[in-house]
Amino acid sequence: MKNIIKSYKKDFDYSYTSGASITIELLKKKPDLVESVFIHPDFRQPDTIATLCAKNGIDCIQDDIVFKRTNQKENSYVLGVFKKYPSVIEKNAPHVVLANPSDMGNLGTIIRTLAGFNIHNLAIITPAADIWNPKTIRASMGSRFHANFQHYKCIEEYLDEFPKHKIYTFMLDGAVDLRNIPIQKPFSLVFGNEATGLGENYRYIGTVVKIPQSTVVDSLNLSVAVAIGAFCFTTT
């Protein structure tokens, strides 16, 4: 594995964690999927990672070249290599549905935010940002390994699989103010693309919700909107 590590591409059957805390989370949550861990010679606190690797029979390799080869940030001193794995979302749990998310940083931030509200099931309508990309994983700060996820070609495919879920679509001109929503469970919170939001076809799916905001900005950042929606639906 050491000799073939290179900058990530979507068609790889493996991906990377970049950074010590994220790699530790990988080693704790998915040790059976870890191929190897690389530690930069300048890393000053390798003991925890080395211990976890030894416990699980994982090669822990000191090397600096691999960090240059994979275009890691200068402050990244640990790299975990792990196999991609299948995942499915739970049937009776709350879901967040992202329709065509395009930004990997946003996607990772959303996964981390949802974990903070105990929502661990994410449906993604394709085409979409790569959930396996190291940028996504880094932005999730390790929460990626606690999340269930599943991809769908269209919203109709998702709805067919989860007919008992109450659907709430978030749109700028939604008919129901988020503060006045009658919450039904299990629920699915549906959000659109960062640039265009949800298409008109989503207006006829479930309850169309708006997040009240001032007119100073056109819209909220996607990850912020998801955080507000998740908070309201899990704390009331």
**What is the pLDDT at residue 4?**
66
Percent of the chain with pLDDT over 90: 78
* Residue found under tokens 């007919």: 163
SS3 211: coil
Provide the CA 86 distance to its chain's centre, in angstroms: 14
- Residue ranges per structural domain of the chain: 2-83, 95-234
SS3 63: coil
Question: For 5-26, what is each residue's pLDDT tens digit?
Answer: 788 999 999 999 999 999 999 9
d(CA 174, CA 208) in angstroms, rounded, equals: 5
User: How buried is 218 (Cβ within 10 angstroms: 0-12 exposed, 13-18 middle, 19+ buried)?
Assistant: exposed
Q: 95 or 213: whose pLDDT is higher?
A: 95
Topology at the third CATH level for domain 2-83: 60s Ribosomal Protein L30; Chain: A; (3.30.1330)
Residue 119 pairs in a beta bridge with none
Q: Give every CB contact of residue 142 below 8 A, 6+ residues apart in sequence.
A: 17, 21, 22, 24, 25, 26, 29
pLDDT of residue 3 exceeding 60, the answer is: no
What is the pLDDT confidence band of residue 2, given thresholds at 50, 70 and 90? very low
User: Residue 102 CB: number of other CB atoms within 10 A?
Assistant: 15
The b-or-e profile of 144-165 (16+ CB within 10 A means b, else e) is bbebebbebeebeebbeebeeb
Among 64, 121, 57, 65, which residue's Cα sits nearest to residue 89? 121
Distance CA 227, CA 196 (A): 18
Asked if residue 41 has pLDDT above 50, the reply is yes
pLDDT attached to residue 71: 67
Asked if pLDDT for residue 206 goes beyond 80, the answer is yes
pLDDT over 70, % of the chain: 97
Question: CA 70, CA 60: separation in Å to the nearest integer?
Answer: 17
Mean pLDDT of 91-95: 96
Per-residue pLDDT at 38 exceeds 80: yes
Provide CATH code, domain 95-234.
3.40.1280.10
What integer pLDDT is reported at residue 141 of this predicted model?
92
pTM (two decimals): 0.92
Mean pLDDT value across the chain: 92
List pLDDT tens digits, range 114-173: 999 999 999 999 999 999 999 999 999 999 999 999 999 999 999 999 999 999 999 998
168-204 pLDDT, tens digit per residue, is 999 998 889 999 989 999 999 999 998 899 999 999 9
Supply the pLDDT for residue 74. Answer: 67
Give the residue-averaged pLDDT of 216-233.
92
Rounded to an integer, the average pLDDT of 223-228 is 96
Residue entry with tokens 């009240």? 212
Please determine, for residue 1, whether its predicted confidence score (pLDDT) is greater than 60. Answer: no
**What does each C-alpha distance from 52 to 23, 58, 62, 85, 137 come to in angstroms?**
10, 8, 15, 21, 20
Q: Does residue 27 surpass a pLDDT of 60?
A: yes
pLDDT at 214: 86
